[in-house]
Copies of this chain bind each other. A is one copy, B any other.
């Protein structure tokens, strides 16, 4: 699990990193750096936001996480580094995995002379929960 991941990458096993990785493990809420920071702060009062950013960057670069840039102003993080698409609800602003099966490609590949090494597919709209609430209103 988490400890093995860090060792594999030759990274020091600090309490901060363990906490961040444990929080992300199996987490499907796609938190931002600040959300991670706020959730850990009570248990790790000395934790710095810079450390959260540093850790997220190291883990992203080494392929353990993926960054989601579905919102203009804030990045979100996904502990699942495998390519898959995401959905942003314009009502509740939450980010969801969307396993649409619409687009699954092996990279790298070539299109029109362009060498494509990666890609992102983002969907925008209303999530099932918010759709349900809207229905309620119209009754």
Contact = CB atoms under 8 A, between A and B. Distances in A.
A108 B126 CA distance: 10
A69 to B, nearest CB: 6
Nearest to A107: B125
Interface string A77-91: 000000000010010
Contact of A117 (B75, B102, B124): B124
A125 B117 contact: yes
A99 interface: yes
Contact of A115 (B102, B120, B131): B131
Contact of A113 (B108, B121, B128): B128
Interface of A: 69, 72, 75, 87, 90, 96, 98-100, 102-103, 105, 108, 111-128, 131
